[in-house]
Amino acid sequence: MNGRRVVITGLGAVTPSGIGVPELWNAVVHGRSAITQLEGPGFDGLAVRIGGQVRGFDVSTVLDRSLAKRLSPVQHWAIAAADEALAQAGVDAAATGGGAGAAAAAGGGSGAVGALPWDAERVAVIAATGSGPIDAMQSATRVLDERGPRAVPLTLSIHGAPDSAAALLSQRYGIRGPAQGVSATCASGAVGLGDGLRRIRHGYADAVLVVGMEDCLNGVNLSSNANMRALAAGYEGAPETASRPFDRSRSGFVMSQGAAAILIESEEHALARGADVLAVLAGFGSASDAHHPTAPHPEGRGAAQAVRECLADAGVGPEAVDHINAHGTGTPAGDAAELLALEAALGEHARRTPISATKSSTGHLLGAGGVVEAIISVMSLRQRLLPPTLNLDDPEFDGWDFVAGNARSAAVSRVLSTSFGFGGHNGAVLIERP
């Protein structure tokens, strides 16, 4: 590890498990599943009709009506999560574009515009997503087919790209450093955190706002994944039991929607402004399987490389890892390959390390998953609790220390969070107690 130490000072989340980080953590640590029967138009007749839907979100607490109408729900959630993260970090940088802003997201007042506590040109925004506001493109395509080219909304060109949330957030907070999108399928969130870590560590920024966001709960994406036999099917009568990482009866992942945000900054700047340091973002590694469009490498080659690089980046050995928040989606091939990868990277220590697979509770938020699970990892360190893996009734893999059924008390110092995706994308981050 070279360069400046990077710390986490703010967290935010809008997920099926709840609105805000406290609700997310409460649901996960108490073993409450967010997976339900899907409600709303467009789900009738689909092969899979379960998932994790964001419920109870009030966009009026974040945006004024005119801007909210021009944006997709996934962008609403991303903005709300970012507001929460900044508010927790003590940053009075409320919306320049109207709305209740960060103060209201934290339960406070009107959110008047304030100054960033860093040079605005040395703050970056990274929007991590697999697909971005895909509903905007699908809607515009229907309009083109039904009403012709003159009816296609011009806002598609402005707000329809995967990186558009980064631009929206930079405008909202007056951030003048780089604003960009990062896309690496289900590893997008971890890769976004890694890019931010390196940007700060090597002196290109003093702070980075990383937001993971995804909303693929629509007929097209659900059908495509179902046709590929990647989704758990046949659980409409008991959707809360569908996500079953590492269980012998697992049959696929369960798709969820939502957004999450993490504010990272250099330790020197955080301490100088009196910020509460929640955790240290100590290391990052990434690699490609170079193997198959969807299947992981059968021996977890790329995943193991990402974990090894992550530990080397943090300057620690395998024994330093006290807990693993696994990618653990519940696909037969993916779970098996992940354990092989952990064993290859951590050696004998892998089987001694407690493993939680929190997608069993939240579902799989795809490109946002890495940020959501990094938040859960921070909370595990701070609350000294390892969240349970739900539905692990009959583990297929012997000799591993899965945290199953109930949360476990443990004063851990370092959590490894892994994220692997279609196309062979692999990412891993190491998070430490401050």
Tell me the catalytic residues.
186, 327, 364
Cα(262)–Cα(193) distance, integer angstroms: 8
Residue 122: other Cβ atoms inside 10 A: 20
Residue 92: other Cβ atoms inside 10 A: 16
- Three-point CA angle 11, 17, 22, nearest 5°: 40
Its sign, for the CA torsion 17, 334, 389, 25, is negative
Nearest residue to 323 (alpha-carbon basis) of 347, 348, 356, 283: 356
DSSP 422: G
How many angstroms separate the Cα of 325 from the Cα of each of 211, 266, 412?
19, 24, 12
Q: Which are the contacts of 343, defined by CB distance < 8 A and separation ≥ 6?
A: 350, 351
User: Token pair of 200, please?
Assistant: 């700060």
226-229 contacts at long range (C-beta below 8 A, 24 or more positions apart): 226/46, 226/47, 226/48, 227/47, 228/294
Q: How far is Cα of residue 402 from the mean position of the Cα atoms in its chain?
A: 22
Cα(304)–Cα(301) distance, integer angstroms: 5
- Three-point CA angle 321, 325, 328, nearest 5°: 130
The neighbouring-strand residues paired with 402 are 355
List, as one string, the DSSP characters of 377-418: HHHHHHHTEEPPBTT-SSBSSTT--B-BSS-EE---SEEEEE
Q: Which are the contacts of 317, defined by CB distance < 8 A and separation ≥ 6?
A: 311
List, as one string, the DSSP characters of 132-159: SSHHHHHHHHHHHHHH-GGGS-THHHHH
Residue 274: other Cβ atoms inside 10 A: 8
DSSP 17: T
Residue 376: other Cβ atoms inside 10 A: 27
* Residue 103 and residue 87 in contact, taking contact as beta carbons nearer than 8 Å: yes
Phi/psi at 429 (5° precision): -125, 150
Q: How far is Cα of residue 90 from the mean position of the Cα atoms in its chain?
A: 22
